[in-house]
């Protein structure tokens, strides 16, 4: 079995029978167990092979020998792959904004999928036979070994079909507790997991635009400004208020808060951490 902490098992994770590659250890997913593609597992203290220093954003020319090359998988292909995950997942990034507004906005240099950390091994199941590289530490890639549990602080995984192939998709990991999604950037920002995403007309789950824009607000790039402009007309009052308060809680005063045009009482930073009353030791994760 994988290296999921005992605390997660105590929190109600269950093992059920599932399908998967015929060999390798089982691992827990929120809904069912799968098998990893190989039994190798990183031991504590064992040396980790380090990959190349790569820019973790941007788009490189299409050179298959260049490890920073991206050829993003089509949205339909990604949705088909993760339809077999057996756990909750969402399309994230700019594609999530486009699914929310219902039309294309711009070209994309990558494609992102969000998983809860407790479901991370579902990625190894649906991408069996691929290479998985964790950004650990951030800014440097190293192989993510089969059945290895990535702890808090490691939340970015690059995936490609094989050595020397272009990168095809990126997986982001986020935290969860007691039915709540909890932002990896600020534990004061959370919401029920059931309200984290929506379903497109084509049946594809995606991260709600206010949540995706919250992440984009950290250091907005021109493409993030374009995404905000496209999404603003689709955001209702509740979504705008949530986004404004989340941005203020994490980043302080921010030009996007004024663009959201929320009532003045929602343009002030909160005074208390909204998770103070939740009994959870984040350091144990």
141 beta partners: 135
At residue 263, the pLDDT reads 83
Q: What is the dihedral of CA 28, 199, 193, 239, to 10 degrees?
A: 160
- Tell me if residue 134 falls in helix, strand or coil: strand
Banded model confidence at residue 56, pLDDT cuts 50, 70, 90 = very low
Q: What is the pLDDT of residues 35-54, one digit of tens each?
A: 333 333 333 333 344 444 44
Q: What is the pLDDT of residues 64-76, one digit of tens each?
A: 335 579 999 999 9
Q: What is the pLDDT of residues 14-30, one digit of tens each?
A: 222 233 333 333 333 44
Q: Go through the chain and tell me how many residues it has.
A: 285
At residue 280, the pLDDT reads 36
At residue 21, the pLDDT reads 34
User: What would the two tokens of residue 212 be?
Assistant: 């995706």
User: What would the two tokens of residue 128 be?
Assistant: 């069996």
**Distance between CA atoms of residues 198 and 50, nearest Å:** 37
CB 87 within 8 A of CB 147: no
The pLDDT > 90 percentage for the chain reads: 66
At residue 67, the pLDDT reads 53
- The answer, yes or no, to whether residue 175 has pLDDT greater than 60, is yes
Q: What is the dihedral of CA 113, 115, 121, 127, to 10 degrees?
A: -10
User: What number does CATH give the domain 6-284?
Assistant: 3.30.460.40
At residue 66, the pLDDT reads 52
Q: What is the mean pLDDT of residues 87-109?
A: 97
Lowest mean pLDDT among 6-15, 95-104, 158-167, 209-218: 6-15
Q: Where are the domains of the chain?
A: 6-284
167 beta partners: 70
Q: What is the mean pLDDT of residues 81-96?
A: 98
Q: Closest Cα to residue 231, out of 103, 101, 106, 91? A: 101
What are the start-end ranges of the H helices in the chain?
6-10, 75-82, 93-101, 121-126, 209-216, 222-231, 237-251, 255-259
Q: What is the mean pLDDT of residues 191-220?
A: 97
- The answer, yes or no, to whether residue 209 has pLDDT greater than 60, is yes
Q: What is the pLDDT of residues 230-257, one digit of tens each?
A: 999 999 999 999 999 999 999 999 999 9
At residue 267, the pLDDT reads 65
Summary mean pLDDT of the chain: 78
CB 96 within 8 A of CB 212: yes
Q: Report the Cα 46 to chain-centroid distance in Å.
A: 27
Higher per-residue pLDDT: 122 or 39: 122
Banded model confidence at residue 264, pLDDT cuts 50, 70, 90 = confident
User: What would the two tokens of residue 116 be?
Assistant: 């809860």
Lowest mean pLDDT among 39-53, 77-91, 168-182, 195-209: 39-53
CB 208 within 8 A of CB 198: yes
Q: What is the dihedral of CA 48, 116, 280, 283, to 10 degrees?
A: 20
Query: The dihedral of CA 207, 158, 39, 126: what is its sign?
Result: positive
User: What would the two tokens of residue 283 be?
Assistant: 């350091």
User: What would the two tokens of residue 169 be?
Assistant: 């998709």
At residue 281, the pLDDT reads 38
């Amino acid at each position: 079995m994988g290296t999921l902490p005992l605390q997660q098992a105590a929190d109600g994770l269950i093992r059920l029978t599932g399908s998967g590659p015929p060999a390798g250890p089982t691992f827990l997913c929120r809904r069912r167990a799968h098998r990893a593609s190989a039994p190798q597992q990183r031991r504590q203290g064992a040396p980790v092979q380090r990959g190349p220093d790569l820019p973790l954003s941007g788009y490189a020319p299409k050179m298959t020998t260049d490890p920073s090359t991206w050829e993003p998988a089509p949205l339909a292909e990604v949705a088909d792959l993760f339809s077999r995950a057996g756990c909750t997942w969402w399309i994230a990034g700019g594609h999530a904004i486009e699914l929310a507004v219902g039309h294309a906005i711009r070209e994309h240099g990558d494609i992102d999928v969000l998983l809860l950390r407790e479901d991370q091994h579902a990625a190894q199941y649906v991408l069996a036979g691929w290479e998985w590289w964790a950004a650990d530490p951030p800014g440097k890639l190293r192989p993510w070994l089969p059945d290895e549990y990535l702890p808090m602080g490691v939340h970015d995984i690059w995936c490609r079909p094989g050595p020397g192939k272009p990168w095809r998709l990126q997986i982001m990991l986020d935290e969860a507790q007691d039915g709540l999604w909890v932002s990896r950037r600020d534990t004061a920002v959370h919401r029920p997991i059931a309200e984290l995403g929506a379903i497109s007309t084509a049946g594809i789950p995606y991260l709600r635009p206010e949540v995706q824009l919250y992440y984009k607000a950290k250091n907005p790039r021109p493409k993030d400004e374009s995404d905000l402009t496209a999404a603003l007309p689709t955001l209702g009052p509740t979504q705008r208020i949530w986004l404004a308060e989340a941005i203020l809680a994490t980043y302080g005063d921010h030009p996007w808060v004024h663009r959201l045009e929320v009532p003045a009482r929602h343009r002030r930073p909160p005074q208390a951490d909204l998770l103070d009353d939740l009994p959870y030791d984040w350091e144990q994760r």
